Structure formats: C-alpha cells, structure tokens
Structure 1
C-alpha cells in the first residue's frame, strides 16, 4: 500500500493539511497528554514556523492528500506524525530511513514516556534511550525520554 505514498518536501500549501495530521495523530496516540496550544495555534505555528523554517517533509497518498509529517531541525527529529488511519503501512519506517539519510552522523528525538508504541518503534530503528525527564522542560509538563541514533 505504501507504493501510492510519496515522501516530499513540504510547501506552504501543505501547512494546513500537515497541521491537521499532527492534531489527529497527537489526539489518537496521546489521549492523556494535555496539548498546551489550541488547534488554531498549532496550525499557525506549522504554517508560520515549521514549514518555512524547518526541514519539513510530508507523506502524500494518492487520493488522500497529506497523511504524514516529519520535521528535522538540526540533528533533531523534532516531529514524526502519521494520520491514525495510515499507521502500520510502512510510512513511518520510510520517514526514519529518510531522516537517517538526511542526517547520517546521527539523530536525537524526544517522545513522551507514556507513548510506549513510539518507544518500540524508535528502538526497532536503532535509537537508544539516553535521558528521561520529569517533564518540567516541555510545554506539556509530561515526563519524556530523549532517544539518540548514531550510525
């Protein structure tokens, strides 16, 4: 099924759809985590900051539009979100492979401690937990884990 999904750099016109993927994915994967920003604030941030100023990629499915979002910021894999209906089709695997190709010296990322599926996903891709926090350093105030990948 992933043959019909293309990974490409995001353009300004993708911002709204990418934000909506983020919102649906966050709500589905992290129902107990309080989002510190409104939907409109998220959409504005992705439109005004993420797409124009970060290395932003989207997964676009034939007939379905944008179904995934990945953002690289320096050596950080700062965002990877898939539309809940498109999980389990290899798109996340393709995004991680692309991130490793784009950052061959290594990557780091943060994920919430409650997001066990994300832990399993990143560990399967060779990321190792390097640090855990009580959440006082993130907007959500949610305990998190920093993962790193080195080739």
Structure 2
C-alpha cells in the first residue's frame, strides 16, 4: 500500500527497533505529562519479542525509515503511533482505514483520557466511547478510555 512516497507494509523482525523508537518519540510528544512505565530498552525488547513477531504489526516507511506503526491483536487496535514530524499528513487516517479493512467486523482500543488529540482523532473516525477507567489496569496508572468501532449496517 503506497501513497505519497509512504509505503504501508507488514513489519519485519528488522523493523522492531525503528518501530520502537517511533513509539518512544511519539509517546513523549503526544502525552508528555504521562509517565512512561518502561524505559527505552524495555520498549525495544517488547517490540522485538512480542509486538512484531506475535501481533499483526504494520509500519509506514518513507525514505527507508519507519515513520509510523499500527499494531492489531485480535479485534484490538493495540498501537497507532506516528513520528511527531509525520503527524497531520494523513498517515494516521491511512492506518485507521487499514485497520478497518483488516478487521471489518469491528475494533476496540484504549487511549489516555488526557490525550485529547487522540480522542478527537478516533472520534472523527467513527469510534465511540464505551468505558472509562481510573487507570488501575494499565502500567502507567493513568485514567483511560476504551473506544469501539462497529461497521454500520447496510
């Protein structure tokens, strides 16, 4: 899947570190007030051991560099992160369209309550709030929101 010199493709083992680094940069930029529960080495290990080999992980590649990632696990959209320099260019829209194509029966996801940009983004893409928590179930102990997307009936 290519558009505008950005290729969306399934991640390979060799992409794990670059994808983790995008995750780290994006997390720091998107939610600077939320403590990251894991250090960079742990995040890179998690990508290499778990996300890339065990989940449906996609990357966006531009000029031979990973600039975004999408992780699907069952019906859950586990991760959608873009390099901060790539926000606002339609890449997130392409990833959501891909996720809906891959999971036409519906999706769910979690995002932090303080992440207003992510909440607006997902709501714009038809996700609706299903649940709020006080954060006790996530590693960051940060209040979050579960969103769901269900295809519309014809």
**Taking structure 2 as the reference length, what is the TM-score of the superposition?**
0.95
C-alpha deviation, 1:7, in angstroms: 0.3
C-alpha deviation, 1:80, in angstroms: 0.1
Q: In the alignment, which residue of structure 2 is the partner of 1:116? A: 116
Q: Give me the whole-angstrom Cα distance separating, in 1, the residues matched to 2:39 and 2:121.
A: 28
Structure 2 SS opposite 1:88: coil
C-alpha deviation, 1:6, in angstroms: 0.6
Q: Which runs of 4+ in 1 moved over 6 A?
A: none
C-alpha deviation, 1:114, in angstroms: 0.2
Q: Give me the whole-angstrom Cα distance separating, in 2, the residues matched to 1:134 and 1:77.
A: 20
Q: In the alignment, which residue of structure 2 is the partner of 1:40? A: 41
C-alpha deviation, 1:49, in angstroms: 0.6
C-alpha deviation, 1:16, in angstroms: 0.6
Q: Give me the whole-angstrom Cα distance separating, in 1, the residues matched to 2:64 and 2:10.
A: 17
Q: Give me the whole-angstrom Cα distance separating, in 1, the residues matched to 2:140 and 2:98.
A: 28
1:95 aligns with 2:105: no
Structure 1 SS opposite 2:97: helix
**Taking structure 1 as the reference length, what is the TM-score of the superposition?**
0.97
C-alpha deviation, 1:65, in angstroms: 0.6
Give a deviation string over 1:40-83, Cα, whole Å, max 9, x none.
Answer: 0000000011000000000001x251000100000000000000
Q: In the alignment, which residue of structure 2 is the partner of 1:71? A: 71
Unaligned runs of 5+ in 2: none
RMSD of equivalent CA atoms: 0.7
Q: Give me the whole-angstrom Cα distance separating, in 2, the residues matched to 1:83 and 1:52.
A: 21
Unaligned runs of 5+ in 1: none
Q: Give me the whole-angstrom Cα distance separating, in 1, the residues matched to 2:29 and 2:14.
A: 25
Q: Give me the whole-angstrom Cα distance separating, in 2, the residues matched to 1:84 and 1:53.
A: 26
